[in-house]
Structure 1
Amino acid sequence: MSSAIIQANNLWKEYGDNVVLERLNLQVMEGDFVSIVGASGCGKSTFLNLLLGNERVTRGELLLDGQPLPQEPSSERGIVFQKYSVFPHLTALQNVMLAEVFEHSGILVRLFGRAKQQAEQRAQAMLAKVGLAQAAQRYPAELSGGMQQRLAIAQALMKQPRILLLDEPFGALDPGIRKDMHQLIDQLWQERKLTIFMITHDLSEGFRLGNRLWVFDKHRHDAQHPERYGAQVTFDIPISKDNYSEALGNNLPMAAQTCFAK
């Protein structure tokens, strides 16, 4: 049976007088795929940074397995950005090996002997998993946009995280390539039992990939002081592969109006 992996209890995030998120009370089960939509500036990326450990909660609490979430990034949480987060001076294989390199050798940034051989084998297997087996010795500049994003996903999954954070990962891709990436992410989610949080500006993408869709928006507004109130999750829409069309048809107009009609 699935258990809660992430809980937010009366969570607030503020920067001085600017309230970004307020009164978040959320529970995410292990294995959930949460698609996150909302207008620009409504706190979606801030929430992802809280999950990653790059930001700290101002008030309330954010729990991982019932304990305060570590206030720094860890191998349990991988992230993929819209802008490909790979190193241009390293080959695809070397990029994927980086997680092992940093873990084992610190500032030396090298692996030797058997440790290097094992890391290469794991990296090759990960590249094969994302369809880049034949591109191991190519540099990012020699890869298409879709291939670079596959590489970034392989890099994020190398340390076998339990939680995968996706910050508009397919926004810069052509429609055909995006469809291929949807299939890849869905396959990885099913096979690895990942818990995924994905920010997207494409509502149909959010409905298609997730089993829950969150709409971030503000319940309260002050035209004179817009920074006074923060965003909350105003809709938490359950989705399944069986009711995808029904969920999209019933909820898309409301969600679209809430998110983008401002």
Structure 2
Amino acid sequence: MADYIKFVDVTKCDGCRACMVACKNWNDLPAEPEDFNGSIQSHMDLTANTWNVITFNEQETSDGNFEWLFRHMSCLHCNQAACEKACPESAISYTKFNSVVIDPEKCVGCGYCVQNCSFGVVQLATYKDKNGSEYRKAQKCTLCTDRLEQGLQPACVVACHTDCLIYEEKELVLAEANKRLSEVKERFPNANIYNPQGIEGTNTIYLLADKPSVYGLPENPKVALSQVVWKDYAQPLGKMMLGATTMAVIGAAISNAVRKDRSEGDHDHE
């Protein structure tokens, strides 16, 4: 199966927010009205129940005019995801579609993924059990993995009327990204393809009209070495040692029981 990734060409986005509506509808996420704060941006940031936000940045052009720079903000589905490295419960994993997903059955709401996400995407939702006690679960965009499993495109991609969002084979996406970059360079001299290699690339690639920092994106995000050591080495080794210790204890108990049975048997024959 070929690798598929999502491409976001911000230079085609007109800020219609159809992707936001489609995301809410498909994932059955509750509405989150916000008080007017003087901005035409409908939501200031992602939340546990708003997985997709269109950001609005007004920028002055070289001729003294102004234009809007939009960005479809959602999970980038990193190839080396800091949230996955930080999770102590193995509740975050990669799917065959290269999406990064959270298993609500394993999530304990510790919040380590929230603290360590390279892009501030993961958030905690609060729920109540049948006794009224509150508990938390981490939530974010799933790249519509449930739709991908049915052979469908992500809901946001289907809703986009400007083809700002594309979900296609990786090689085709990269070719299109480079083609579009050469086409928009005259209008946007600082245009660039955002696919940070410090996290081994992402499965949502952007064509940005300006530097990543203009869009609130880190220039070169990286997963902390301590997280890599913890997740890929210390934790598996600890589990192996725990397993070995457990087996040793069980083995000792069985051995003692056998010796006891033999000893009692010897006494019976005296």
TM-score greater than 0.5 by the shorter chain: no
- State TM-score, norm by structure 2: 0.24
For CA contacts below 8 A with separation 6 or more, give which structure has more relative contact order: 1
- State TM-score, norm by structure 1: 0.25
| Structure with more strand by fraction | 1
